Amino acid sequence: MAQGTGSVSHLDRHHAHHFKSGHEEFEACKQGMWIFLVTEVLFFSGMFVAYAVLRVFYPDMMHDVHHHKLLDWRMGALNTVVLITSSWTMARAVSSSQRGEQKNTVGFLWATLLLAGVFLVVKYFEYSHKIHEHILPGAQYAYEGLTTAKVPIFMSVYFVMTGIHGLHVVIGMGVIYYLIRRAKRNEFGPRYFTPVEMTGLYWHFVDLVWIYLFPLLYLVG
Amino acid sequence: MSEHHSNEQHHILSNSMAAKIFGALLVLTVVTVWVAQFDLGSLNFAVAMLVASVKATLVCLFFMGLKYDHKENTVIFSTSFIFMIIFMILTFGDLLTRGDVYVKDMSKIIPDGAVAAQTKSKYEKAWVSNPELLAHGKELFAAQCVTCHGAGGAGNGVAAAGLNPKPRNFTVADGWKNGRKASAIYGTLTKGLNSMPAFASLPPDDRWALSHYVRTLGPHESEKDSAEDLKKAGIDASGAGGGSAGEKQIPIDVAIDLMSEKS
């Protein structure tokens, strides 16, 4: 076995018969994960294009949203920090599992799960404030502080984009919890860490989407 | 052993590198929030996207390990962004050029009478004000115009701050580029002026209603359309046929609506 600290020779565990080696199985799995992430980008791209079109055609809509502070940038910034931190803990969970540090793997996975929960709690406060003030999509919009024809359209974009992103966070939490249970049974180590690495890729992607959503929705007016 | 050949070894992100990337992402988040405080015009958007892209690149290269991974995974992931750009180009290529396209001969694609129904007036002379038109104009004004022109028409709507030249102040007599007659306002609504878009997709009656209503917001009573003015606007004041005079074209989005109703 390789002794180097910076890399691990791995995956000579029992592998499916149609792969030459555990390594090949791992690489195929990872490539499949990247292809899945391509479909995720394309899935979100529909929403990003809709946002771009509305932004170009209704600059006054963006101006109104920004000027009347319909979104609280502090909440968005807080959630950005939370999600970036969770990306870091996830990266540490992956490298811990690769080094066979079971306690750290479980600990960092728990930290990631906890931060994902914090993200959703902040989102809950944002949503409930908007529901209370009737700052809602389309025909549901009835905010007394600002009456315009276009802002309800922005709120549709806001709720769909953050809602779908939030759904990804919830799904990620489920998968991370499943990993914690497996990590506790000591199933991951230098020879096998595929599920942890794949979940890491997914979780970083969820962070990636938020990295763009935060400035687009909360900052630029 | 070939099994332990270097290309079968998986890179492990060191703790110090993970910490550095984490720190860089936090700093960049502070930067993007800090820059947003300043009004740099359209540069704000460019800077925000640049910072986000640097953050995204760091996440991809280090946290997702593309820097140490086979290049084909980078190629695979990049294709998604290439297709996103194609998506953008095709969408905007369509939307941004639609305003130039007017369907000249509607009879080939739209059922008989549909265009006439779209542009037909309820009134014998929509270019002459009446209480019904004024009431309708008031409603339309609140829905379409107040954002820029303000509730009272003083040119002080919420969006006015971002516009140059400023929206017309309807409460005073000065500064009207096309004049204050109903036919002139109707023309401005049809064609647009400076940053004001054309409202040609509103039926003629709606545009007349708005024209008459706007004239009630200031001292414009004395500015009346002569037969000559109306003729210039394409209206034969003596002939019957309602306010649709001169309307042989309809905008492409109205045409698309009519076509989809047909099918």
Mutate to test the interface with B, among A95, A198, A218 (most CBs of B within 10 A): A95
Which pLDDT belongs to residue B114? 64
A109: left (phi over 0), alpha (psi -120 to 50) or beta: alpha
Looking at the DSSP assignment, which residues form a beta bridge with residue B102? B251
Instruction: Answer with the residue of higher pLDDT: A135 or B161.
Output: A135
Tokens of B254: 């109205």
Q: Give residue-wise pLDDT tens across range A93-119.
A: 999 999 999 999 999 999 999 999 999
B2 in reach of chain A (CB within 8 A): no
Q: What domains are defined for chain B?
A: 2-95 (no CATH), 106-262 (1.10.760.10)
Identify the pLDDT of residue A3.
41
Considering only the beta carbons, identify the residue of B18, B73, B143 that sits closest to A34: B73
Give the rounded percent of residues in chain B with a pLDDT score beyond 70: 76
Query: Rounded to an integer, what distance in angstroms lies between the CA atom of residue A164 and that of residue A158?
Result: 10
Q: Are A214 and A77 in contact (CB under 8 A)?
A: yes
If you average pLDDT over residues B41-61, what whole number do you get? 94
Least confident of B111-120, B134-143, B198-207: B111-120
- Tens of pLDDT, residue by residue over B172-214, are 888 888 888 888 888 888 888 877 888 877 888 888 889 999 9
**Distance (Å, whole) CA A107 – CA A93:** 8
**CB spacing of A212 vs B52 below 8 angstroms:** yes
Amino acid identity at B81: F
Q: Is the interface score ipTM higher than 0.85?
A: yes
Residue among A48, A98, A207 minimizing CB distance to B10: A98
Cα angle A97, A100, A102; round to 5: 75
Set out the domains of chain A in order of their start, with CATH numbers.
73-219 (1.20.120.80)
The overall average pLDDT reported for chain B is: 81
Is B22–A84 a contact, with Cβ atoms under 8 angstroms apart?
Answer: yes
Query: Could you tell me which residue, B9 or B128, shows the higher pLDDT?
Result: B128
Determine, for residues B80 and A37 on separate chains, whether the beta-carbon distance falls below 8 Å. Answer: yes
Which whole number is the average pLDDT over B24-53?
92
Classify residue B234 as left (phi > 0), alpha (psi -120 to 50) or beta: left
Mean pLDDT of A44-51: 96
| pLDDT score for B109 | 59
Q: Read off the tokens for B159.
A: 């969006």
Scanning B19-38 for CB atoms below 8 A from A yields 19, 21-22, 25-26, 29, 32-33, 36
Q: With a cut of 50, say whether residue B36 has pLDDT above it.
A: yes
Determine the average pLDDT of the residues in A51-73. 87
User: Rounded to whole angstroms, how far apart are CA atoms A121 and A83?
Assistant: 12
Model confidence band, residue B37 (pLDDT cutoffs 50, 70, 90): confident
Chain B residues touching residue A99 (CB < 8 angstroms): 12
Residue B229 CA neighbour count, 13 Å, CB half: 16
**Mean pLDDT in residue range B237-263:** 57
Instruction: Taking residues A143-148, report their average pLDDT.
Output: 79
The reported pLDDT for the residue numbered B2 is 36
- pLDDT, position B251: 65
Q: Any idea what the Cα angle at residue B158 is, between residues B154 and B162, rounded to 5°?
A: 100
In tens, the pLDDT along A196-210 reads: 999 999 999 999 999
Calpha distance B141→B146 (Å, rounded): 6
Q: What is the DSSP letter of B201?
A: T
* Strand pairing class (B102-103; A7-9): unpaired
Q: Which residues of A touch B158 (CB under 8 A)?
A: 60, 63-64, 67, 146, 148
The answer to whether the Cβ–Cβ distance between A81 and B29 falls below 8 Å is: yes
> Residues A146-193: pLDDT tens digits?
877 788 889 999 999 999 999 999 999 999 999 999 999 999 999 899
* pLDDT, mean of residues A29-41: 97
A94 touches chain B (CB under 8 A): yes
Does any CB of chain B come closer than 8 Å to the CB of residue A188? no
pLDDT for position A112: 98
What was the pLDDT predicted at B111? 61
Instruction: Indicate the average pLDDT of chain A.
Output: 90
B10 phi and psi angles, rounded to 5 deg: -100, 130
Which of B33, B58, B70 would you mutate first to test chain A, the one with the most A CBs within 10 A? B33
> Where does the pLDDT of residue B244 fall: very low under 50, low under 70, confident under 90, or very high at 90 and above?
very low
**Is residue A66 less than 8 Å (CB to CB) from chain B?**
no
pTM: 0.67
Q: How far is CA A108 from the centre of its chain?
A: 16
CA B110/CA B254 separation, integer angstroms: 11
Listing DSSP states for A78-138 in one string gives HHHHHHHHHHHHHHHHHHHHHHT-HHHHHHHHHHHHHHHHHHHHHHHHHHHHHHHTT--SG
Facing residue for A77 by CB, picked from B14, B33, B59: B33
Q: Does B214 touch chain A (CB under 8 A)?
A: no
Task: Work out the angle between the directed axes of helices A151-184 and A194-213 (0-180°, nearest 10).
Answer: 160
Closest chain B C-alpha to A109 CA, distance in angstroms? 15
